[in-house]
Amino acid sequence: MLPFDECPVCAGQIVEQEVTEIISSGKKKAALKLSAYVCCRCSERFYSLKSIQHIEKIRAELEG
């Protein structure tokens, strides 16, 4: 659950969706399917702490 009822960028409605996040480091790339809250108006994405930690872990592995 988000700490706000509407998008803080544009005041649009936010819905939970499965999204694909592409992470790259040099020539290495990874595509992650994650749950995110997405604004219906401006498409801004908001991730849970767990998703952010997963993204950071994969990015570190690509850089390593």
Residue 58 structural domain: 14-63
- Is 24 part of a structural domain of the chain? yes
DSSP E strand stretches across the chain: 14-25, 28-39, 45-46
Residue 25's DSSP bridge partners are 28
- Is 40 part of a structural domain of the chain? yes
Compute the average pLDDT of residues 40-63: 95
What's the pLDDT at 5?
87
What's the pLDDT at 31?
97
Total domains, the chain: 1
| pLDDT tens-place string over residues 11-31 | 999 999 999 999 999 899 999
- Mean pLDDT across the chain, nearest whole number? 94
What's the pLDDT at 61?
94
